[in-house]
Amino acid sequence: MLSFFRKNKKNSNSNLKILSGYNFRYRSVGAKSEKNIIKYANYFNFDYEFEKTNKFERHFYWLKIKMLIDNLEKGSHEFYLWLDADTFFCRYENILNHVDKTKHIFVHNNFFKSIHKTKYKFVNYLTWAPNVGVLLVRNTKWSLNFFKNVWNKKKYLKHFWPDNAAFMDEIGLKAEISKLSNNNLSNDVIKKVSFLPGIWNSMPKKNYKNPDNDEVSNFYFDPVIIHLAGIRRRDRIKFIKEYKHLFI
């Protein structure tokens, strides 16, 4: 990878390392998110790594999977927290104090207005779909194998949710990338995966300024993390300027 800049912090705290990254095109949002994340990391004395690169072997969204695999293979920390470069902490809560540390992977499972249609008028399906913009991962062989399997799902390289679809496939929540009946979690996944409360990945609607818009809302009151997922880049900038008082 050719990086235009890489930022790392390393100290004696091996509990958690935060991972994130963005390319030059996304720097207007990513740089603001980076400052916010570093502020959070320094508060708890967590390590962090930001990979800022203009060239990557796949769609840039796959960077999270590669960084998680690389860090799990090094195994220097007990937990790794991936954060998309449009996430912002709103208060100081140590995520490790809010999870069952016997689990291996932690992700928020958000409501999604299904692409599948019902035969009834004015009736829609709502399904669950994990959002990988916030991922807490325990350093285990199971976690490493899980993300290696995600990386190897090359049939999603050109999917409109590339990395997220591969993750959904591996975890078993496949209703929105295949048949409606395909949301099935294996017993192994049920034992190993935990679903984070919405306050850890609170997402405003794409058209958050339009009260008449009928999008399903995954925004949670008093969030720890606001994630500007799916919002146009210029509208992300507007949101950050208008609501920066919400962030730490």
Could you tell me the residue ranges of all domains in the chain?
3-246
Q: Measuring CA to CA, how many Å separate 92 from each of 115, 201, 222, 225?
A: 36, 14, 12, 10
pLDDT digits (tens, 9 = 90+) for 150-160: 999 999 999 99
Phi then psi dihedrals of residue 198, to 5 deg: -60, -20
Judged against a pLDDT cut of 70, whether residue 4 lies above it is answered with: no
Over the chain, what is the mean pLDDT? 94
183 secondary structure, DSSP code: B
pLDDT of residue 118 exceeding 60, the answer is yes
Report residue 15's pLDDT band, with 50, 70 and 90 as the boundaries. very high
pLDDT digits 0-9 by tens, 197-216 = 999 999 999 888 887 778 88
Q: Are strands 225-227 and 124-138 parallel, antiparallel or unpaired?
A: unpaired
Reduced to 3 states (helix: H, G, I; strand: E, B; else coil), residue 230 is coil
CATH number of 3-246: 3.90.550.10
